[in-house]
Amino acid sequence: MVIKLKETYNILVDPRLLKVRQRDRYPEISAGAKKRAENSPTFINMDPSVHGHQRFIARLNSYCEGFNKHTVRRYLERLIKTKADQQSIIYNLLANNSSYLSLLFRKYLKYFDHLLDERIANPGDNIISSLAKEQLQQGNLER
């Protein structure tokens, strides 16, 4: 998705897409194509003010992307300075409240505990079964 946004941005701000074409004898795809293009405006053939507005929107999106990166970096640096653990950094970035998250975390652990019991009883060809068989039973992992 990021690649598509960057490609779209580059297309929107490309000077070759302005209505005023400065190259001599701009090539026609077929006979009369220039005349048809003048009669049916497209993004490329918009009036300069409309085209400028579209370019402004593309630049605004690019600005917001930079602002978002700056905001996340600022919060990360502040949380790293407080020497918080990784989970609390993620929770704080997402603005979640810790009591709600601890409840979710307990449900998550309960679910995996139940899933692990099932995979030990009925092993299959999947990651949980492999970890239970190869790592948990050998003592490399704890529940």
Do 23 and 56 lie in one domain? The reply is yes
Q: Which domain holds residue 139?
A: 98-143
* CA-wise closest residue to 72 among 96, 93, 97: 93
Give the integer Cα–Cα distance in Å for 61 and 124: 47
Number of independent structural domains in the chain: 2
User: One digit per residue, pLDDT tens: the chain, 143 residues?
Assistant: 455 677 777 777 776 665 555 455 555 555 666 666 666 555 555 555 665 666 666 666 655 566 667 777 887 787 778 776 666 666 666 666 667 767 777 888 899 889 888 988 888 888 888 888 888 888 877 77
What residues contact 47, with CB distance under 8 A and at least 6 apart?
Answer: 19
Do 61 and 125 lie in one domain? The reply is no
Do 92 and 139 lie in one domain? The reply is no
Q: Is 45 in contact with 37 (CB distance < 8 Å)?
A: yes
Give the residue from 96, 111, 131 where a domain finishes. Answer: 96
